Amino acid sequence: MDASTLSEFQLLFPLAQRCILLIFVGLWLWVWQLTIFYKGFHVDISQLVPSSDPSEFVPRSSAKKQLEATRATVIQITKIILPWHIATCFLLQQCNSDQTYAPDAWLVCLLNVQPVCQFITIFAVIFTNSPMVSRCFRNILCFGNIEPRPLRNNYIIITDSLTSYAKPLIDFGLYMCHLLLDPLSEKCIASRSSLGIAINLDLMIGISPVMLRLLQCLREWKRSRSAEEAKSALFNAIKYSLNFPILMCTVYSRTYPTEKPAKYVYWFMLMNSTYGFWWDLTMDWNLGMFNFSFAGMDRNESLRSRRIFPKPAYYLAICIDFALRFVWLWEAMSGRSVFEGEINIFFLQALELFRRWVWLFIKLESEAVNAEVPDKVQD
């Protein structure tokens, strides 16, 4: 095996555990967001993101109940996952502490299956506690199915969050590949499988959430009943299809590594980020700043006339979204990164999660404002 020792960071945050930890952090961010909406702004998220089927004859859960149920689930997961993570790191340390003696095979095996067991446990707890999340996941994985309003928000939130988890999921996929090929390696949970990269497994996993979201847009386009709806779904689909040229460039440069990296991949990435940024502000957040339609120019306002949050919150959200969407550009131009190596990769994954959290704040707020005026409901 390779003689390189694991760094402190890799021992505390082994590759496969990072995905688990980010899911865990994401769950807490969601609870926190529900709390802020409920306690701070009295917005009833349970109306926007229903946790039970609206057509079934059950009383709709209130905001308070939804918050309590969500919090209970996440606390339950915390109690299981945190000690488990610490135990896994301890085991990893044990298996890698002595360079002269190979650790027992059974111990290494036990260590290497921990992340996948934790992954299954998290989703088992969520699915047993929330039939709605389970239903959405089942439908989404079934070639990007999506249900119309009032359940549409649930699907959008889950699938868009999945796209934000693409990079951690890639790492997890490479770990799984490593586990299948070499279950007795004591660095299995801490390093990437090079075979996985050779067969482009990372790209396939990375593109899957985007594919699902794209299929959802196409389904909505097919189902649309007005020209307005159709247009919106189609332009949304374009947003996700902008990922494909970047992917092609990556595959190309891997197949012909001797050739100079194509410069135009940066143009594709610039297009992806710019369009995504514009879409967030104009379509998802319904702000007037970059709304260049006739009606939008008439609007004559940089934000929205009806708002729930204080004004600076929107400008802050816009700055965060811009900065985090273009962080790659800053890195490419300055040739620097905030941290080095693996720490930087983890840092960027966490930032993307944060961006999604900020996005969701304004997205839900925009939905709430729309819902207040039923005849002005869009898309």
Ligand X SMILES: *[C@@H]1O[C@H](CO)[C@@H](O)[C@H](O)[C@H]1NC(C)=O
Pick one of 122, 234, 246, 313: the residue that binds ligand X (CB under 6 A).
246
Q: Which candidate, 45, 295, 311, 272, places its Cα nearest to that of 154?
A: 45
Shortest separation between residue 11's beta carbon and ligand X, angstroms: 28
- The distance of closest approach from Cβ of residue 268 to ligand X in the complex, given in angstroms and rounded to an integer, is 8
Stretch that binds ligand X, among 44-52, 87-95, 270-278, 331-339 (CB under 6 A): 270-278
For ligand X, the binding residue among 1, 3, 227, 295 (CB under 6 A) is: 295
Interaction between residue 96 and ligand X (CB under 6 A): no
Looking at the Cβ atoms of 153 and 282, the one nearer to ligand X is 282
Among 291, 308, 314, 364, contact with ligand X (rule: CB under 6 A): 291
Q: Which is nearer to ligand X, 47 or 273 (CB)?
A: 273
Of 323, 322, 321, residue with least CA distance to 355 = 321
CA distance 63 to 116: 33
Q: Which of 222, 300, 335, 374 lies at the binding interface for ligand X (CB under 6 A)? A: 300
C-alpha angle 191-330-258 in degrees, rounded to nearest 5: 55
CB of 111 to ligand X, least distance (A): 31
Q: Applying CB under 6 A, which of residues 96, 272, 349, 366 lies at the interface with ligand X? A: 272
For the bound state, the minimum distance from the C-beta of residue 216 to ligand X, rounded and expressed in Å, comes to 16
Number of residues counted as binding ligand X (CB under 6 A) = 17
Using CB under 6 A as the binding rule, whether residue 293 contacts ligand X is answered as yes
Of 173-181, 253-261, 294-302, 359-367, the segment contacting ligand X by CB under 6 A is: 294-302
Q: Is 299 in the site for ligand X (CB under 6 A)?
A: yes
CB 293 → ligand X: shortest distance, Å? 3
Q: CB nearer to ligand X: give 121 or 282.
A: 282
Binding mask 308-327 for ligand X (x = CB under 6 A): -----------------x--
- The smaller minimum CB distance to ligand X, of residues 55 and 300, is found at 300
Could you say which of 243, 287, 303, 366 contacts ligand X (CB under 6 A)? 243
DSSP string, 242-302: THHHHHHHHHHHHHSTTSPPPTHHHHHHHHHHHHHHHHIIIIIS--STT--SHHHHHH--S
Helix segments in the chain, DSSP class H: 8-12, 15-35, 41, 45-48, 63-97, 105-112, 114-129, 131-141, 152-164, 166-181, 194-198, 201-223, 227-241, 243-255, 264-279, 294-299, 311-325, 327-334, 341-372
Nearest to 13 by CA among 190, 174, 192, 185: 190
Contacts of 227 (CB under 8 A, 6+ apart): none
Spatial contact of 71 and 32, defined as CB atoms under 8 Å apart? no
Question: In degrees rounded to 5, what are phi and psi of residue 258?
Answer: -75, -25
CB of 81 to ligand X, least distance (A): 25
Q: Quick one: tokens of 157?
A: 């939130």
Is position 58 an interface residue for ligand X (rule: CB under 6 A)?
no
Residues near ligand X (CB under 6 A) are 243, 246-247, 269, 272-273, 276, 282-283, 291, 293, 295-296, 299-300, 325, 378
